[in-house]
Amino acid sequence: MKNKLGLLTALLLTAVAFSAAASERAREEAVTVRATLELKDGSRLVGTPLEKTLPVTLDFMKAAIPLEKIRTCEIRHKDERVVLGLANGDRLTGTLELAQFQLDTAMGRLAPDLAQIDRMTFTASHGGSLPAGEGSLSFGGVNWLPWRTPFEVQGDKLASLPRARAGFNYGHSGAGRGAALMSNIGNADWRDYRVEFDFCMVGTDPSFNPHGMGLDWRGGSFAFHVTDAKENWNERGGSCYNFSVEGNGAWRLYAVYNAYCDVPMGYGNPRKDAERVLASGSSLHPDWDRGNHYRLEVRGPHIQIWMDDQTVVDVTDDKMGETIGGQTLDHGGVGFSGGFDTMFWIKNFSATAL
């Protein structure tokens, strides 16, 4: 009897140990790392690294540092040294024992020499996938609603097209203007998440300029925690956080509740239940040709936004959980829009639950 109990105990302990090891392996396998490489010629590569670690010789030891623990790697070619910024805030200086860095990109597998790279940035996702939502366009792992103008996938980009969407009354005196993309409006499963993307405000297309905008004018925005939104600007409902960028580099992050034009048709008498500006500035440098790489992370009331790996916003909105006009901005999907008649594209879009 004792032998049987001992055998059962041993089997139970083995099962527990195996389950723990399997859980740890599953946790490790769930980590997804994305790398952004800034090259000496001004090019930028974004993709999934084939390496799992960076082999570095420090002054006091040799180490293979997991990429998921690294935020940045600055390569100082003159000194033949690298400076690593780790996710926990540590900073290390050493020599990188690597001649090339391989990664899978939209152009296939590439392996630029270390001598061509100035900076590498890494983002690690430990979360799961988010619901794709409903929409006629699938891109970047989610489904999109194309509003006001048509959109199409052009290679690695999702781009607005310079014409009104069929059946939509486009224009300043109509139901709205400005191309827009929306995904997962009001979805309660979209709460704490990270989104990354390249966003380019191309400008007004001469073939679609019904209001005579200057062809050098640009503006656009992206929205998150979109709890409500309407394609028709005469319908009450626009509720979200919005990060807007102007052509001169001015930017603003604000929360808005139930924004709309309170007239039967066209632009006029703009109303909203509330608006709260969280941060603003004027020092961004939008790239009208290649676009800019953005990363947004929202964890509870903590909001962080990076542009080209430089911190732009790091704020906490203590009023995120408040309900105003029936809207609570603690959940919801994402969206993009072009100011007035600005065309735009996005690429390298990803969304991950945190």
Exposure of 97 in the CB half-sphere (CA atoms within 13 A): 10
The per-residue pLDDT for range 55-89, each reduced to its tens digit, is 999 999 999 999 988 878 999 999 899 999 887 77
pLDDT score recorded for residue 47: 84
- Sign of the four-CA dihedral 165, 166, 172, 175: negative
- Sign of the four-CA dihedral 292, 295, 255, 184: positive
Q: Where are the beta strands (DSSP E) in 204-248?
A: 219-228, 238-246
Instruction: Say if 249 falls within a structural domain.
Output: yes
Q: Which residue has the tokens 């008649």?
A: 341
Q: Cα(78)–Cα(62) distance, rounded to whole angstroms?
A: 22
**Looking at the chain, how many residues does it have?**
354
pLDDT score recorded for residue 105: 84
pLDDT score recorded for residue 33: 81
> In total, how many domains does the chain have?
2
Phi, psi of 177 (to 5 degrees): -145, 155
Residue 80 and residue 141 share a domain: no
Instruction: Say if 130 falls within a structural domain.
Output: no
54, amino acid identity: L
pLDDT score recorded for residue 13: 41
Phi, psi of 22 (to 5 degrees): -65, -40
Q: Cα(116)–Cα(303) distance, rounded to whole angstroms?
A: 33
Mean pLDDT across 80-101: 89
Instruction: Say if 6 falls within a structural domain.
Output: no
Residue 161 and residue 85 share a domain: no
The model's pTM is 0.69
Query: Average pLDDT over the chain, rounded to whole?
Result: 88
Residue 317: give its domain's CATH number: 2.60.120.560
Q: Cα 93 to the chain's mean position, in Å?
A: 29
Report whether 117 contacts 38 (CB < 8 A).
Answer: yes
Per-residue DSSP letters for 288-319? TTT-EEEEEEEETTEEEEEETTEEEEEEE-TT
pLDDT score recorded for residue 107: 82
| Among 62, 92, 124, residue at a domain's last position | 124
Mean pLDDT across 338-351: 94
Mean pLDDT across 39-65: 90
Range of weakest confidence among 235-239, 287-291, 334-338: 287-291
pLDDT score recorded for residue 68: 85
Closest to 149 measured CA to CA, from 176, 183, 185: 176
Residue 159 and residue 77 share a domain: no
Joined tokens for residue 16: 């527990």
Residue 166 and residue 264 share a domain: yes
The per-residue pLDDT for range 263-281, each reduced to its tens digit, is 999 999 999 999 999 999 9
Joined tokens for residue 290: 């290649």
Residue predicted with more confidence, 352 or 13: 352
Q: Cα(337)–Cα(343) distance, rounded to whole angstroms?
A: 9
The per-residue pLDDT for range 309-336, each reduced to its tens digit, is 999 999 999 999 999 999 999 999 999 9
